[in-house]
Structure 1
Amino acid sequence: MTFDASNLPDVSALTVGILGGTGEQGRGLAYRLARAGQAVHIGSRTERRGRDAAAELTRMPGVTGPVRGGENRAAAGSDVVIVTTPWDGHRDTLASLAEPLVGRIVVDCVNPLGFDQRGPFPLPVPEGSAAEQAAALLPGSRVCAAFHHVSAELLIDPAVQRV
């Protein structure tokens, strides 16, 4: 089977919002999207942190897409929304944004992990996974899961050409 990119829809006019976009994973995904020319809206718990992250991103090499920053609620109004919040804020963040996320495609990349002296370990999720929790909290959204295995360090490194 071969891949034919000419059959893909044009998404260049869409804006991708990133909830929790000031963390490592969010900044890395925002960088790669903006470097590819995609419009990005970085969300944060505070408007200032979102704006500061956007300003920093626009100064990174290769960024060609427009970048905005603000609160998570503003980023939730984007065409496609990626969730990169820390696990401990996942439920509350999504519950508070259920209304602006109605009708949106929501991509959850949160890993419910705890950390101790031996390293990371999985945390119990009553719904089964972070994306299943998101789907339960966002019945009016189309929720999927992606990017769980992608390294934030590689995403944010300008020297890495392909991830």
Structure 2
Amino acid sequence: MEKGSIHQFTVKDIAGNDFKLADLKGKKVMIVNTASECGLTPQYEQLQEVYDVYKDKNFTIVGFPANNFGAQEPGSNQQIAAFCTTKFNVTFPMMSKISVKGDDMDSVYQFLTQKSQNGLEDSEVAWNFQKYLVNENGELEKVISPKTLPNDEAVLAWIEGQ
């Protein structure tokens, strides 16, 4: 099966501007669904640390706030942006709040979770802070559990191409 590419999508960033995922061609990307009131919210710290180390090495992180699990992301885009900036000094790209599962699942997450679109595997977003690792061509390569930290050795080895 031919692998699809995440580069086909244009989404809205947290300020409401168009964000073309095609602009990420040539970079490895970690896509993560985030929440401000989750037990895993401290992962923002490791996400930012990984971003700081690798952002100049053809890697980026794209965060998608979502309120699908336990109503743990109730805020508006403005509230989420303020929280990320003041609490965790987040500088990696954050998108507008979306749905990552259910009938109103965003098209990016339909791509990430459906083998018929991504060519790799079917998956379900299990909880906040699930990570999807996408290669330089926009192809899904790995799905990482929400409880696996962004700075896990296996994740860093993937970023470094090992």
TM over 0.5: no
Structure of larger gyration radius: 1
Which TM bucket (shorter chain)? 0.3 to 0.5
Query: When the two structures are superposed, what TM-score results if normalisation uses the length of structure 1?
Result: 0.37
Tell me which protein shows more strand as a share of its residues: 1
